[in-house]
């Protein structure tokens, strides 16, 4: 199957985030070119974009690898996201359109209608959670802010998949988003900001607790 450059980028990014490609795994350029049926130049541009996303690393004379998962980097990202997600709450409450509110309502309805079980259910719920973030980013009508947060969300999502959070944790995150939707419906700027900051801090605490648990059990 032949992929466009944009499709190949999204697919490869998804494989890294969902741990289909593991931290430290070599990304052979020719292999990926064959997988996506695209040329050397677009593949190198894709890998460059993934480096900018913080998802791959290149080492001279050694090659390109899936970036390692480092708690220090996660802490740096969370520092940024806590403040920027609060700004998203503020701007979205002021600027969100009825069409975007409708999309958020449909995401919440999809969560309620989700009948999958096991890992498939967790994966689908996480996708709904990610879709909600994407719409709220768009609702700021600030392309630079939206693009930055999409990339930071990808870095954080890798930790989510690595630590294998289950349905309970995902639904807790989605419950925050239900509250966020209610705040956006009435355009409560302060409440939307507070919910988004709490949402990110709760996620950060969950990640750190799980990492600590892994270290203690090692």
**pLDDT of the residue at 164:** 67
Give pLDDT, residue 123. 83
The tens digit of pLDDT for each residue in 160-200 reads 888 867 788 889 999 999 999 999 999 999 999 999 999 99
Quick count: other Cβ atoms within 10 Å of Cβ 114? Answer: 15
Q: What's the confidence (pLDDT) of residue 87?
A: 98
Q: In this predicted structure, what is the pLDDT of residue 213? A: 62
Q: Which long-range contacts (CB under 8 A, 24 or more apart) does 180-185 make?
A: 180/89, 180/132, 180/136, 181/101, 181/104, 181/105, 181/108, 183/89, 183/93, 184/92, 184/93, 184/96, 184/101, 184/104, 184/136, 184/139, 185/101
Q: Report pLDDT for 217.
A: 56
> How far is CA 47 from each of CA 33, 69, 154, 195, rounded to the nearest angstrom?
11, 18, 15, 35
Is 71-217 CATH 3.40.50.1820? no
Write down the pTM of the prediction. Answer: 0.86
Residue 115's pLDDT is 79
Structure tokens at 142: 């600030």
Domain range summary for the chain, segments of one domain joined by +: 5-66, 71-217
9's tokens: 């980028």
Q: Give the per-residue pLDDT at 47.
A: 96
- CATH pick for 5-66 out of 1.10.10.10, 3.30.70.3190, 3.40.50.1370, 3.90.226.10: 1.10.10.10
Distance CA(68)–CA(57), nearest Å, equals 8
How far is 166 from 189, CA to CA, in rounded Å? 31
Q: Which residues of the chain have pLDDT under 70?
A: 164, 212-218
- Tell me whether the CATH fold assigned to 5-66 matches the one assigned to 71-217: no
Return the pLDDT at 212: 67
Is the separation of the CB atoms in 70 and 156 below 8 Å? no
Secondary structure (DSSP) of the chain: ----HHHHHHHHHHHHHTTSS-TT-B--HHHHHHHHT--HHHHHHHHHHHHHTTSEEEETTTEEEEPP--HHHHHHHHHHHHHHHHHHHHHHHHH--HHHHHHHHHHHHHHHH----HHHHHHHHHHHHHHHHHHHHHTTT-HHHHHHHHHHHHHHHHHHHHTT--HHHHHHHHHHHHHHHHHHHTT-HHHHHHHHHHHHHHHHHHHHHHHHHHHHH-
CA pair distance 218, 216, nearest whole angstrom: 6
pLDDT at 122: 81
């Amino acid at each position: 199957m032949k992929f466009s450059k944009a499709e190949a980028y999204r697919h490869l990014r998804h494989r890294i985030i969902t741990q289909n490609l593991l931290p430290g795994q070599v990304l052979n350029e020719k292999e990926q070119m064959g997988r996506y049926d695209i040329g050397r130049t677009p593949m190198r541009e894709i890998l460059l974009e993934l480096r900018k996303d913080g998802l791959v690393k290149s080492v001279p004379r050694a090659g390109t690898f899936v970036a390692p998962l480092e708690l220090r980097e996660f802490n740096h990202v969370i520092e940024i996201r806590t403040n920027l997600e609060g700004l998203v709450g503020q701007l979205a409450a002021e600027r969100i359109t009825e069409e975007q509110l409708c999309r958020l309502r449909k995401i919440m309805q999809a969560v309620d209608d989700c009948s999958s079980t096991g890992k498939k259910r967790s994966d689908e719920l996480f996708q709904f959670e990610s879709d909600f973030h994407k719409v709220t980013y768009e609702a700021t009508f600030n392309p630079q802010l939206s693009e930055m947060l999409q990339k930071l969300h990808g870095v954080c999502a890798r930790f989510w998949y690595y630590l294998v959070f289950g349905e309970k944790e995902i639904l807790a995150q989605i419950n925050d988003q239900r509250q966020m939707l209610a705040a956006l419906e009435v355009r409560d700027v302060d409440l939307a900001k507070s919910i988004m900051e709490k949402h990110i801090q709760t996620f950060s605490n969950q990640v750190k607790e799980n990492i600590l648990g892994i270290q203690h059990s090692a």
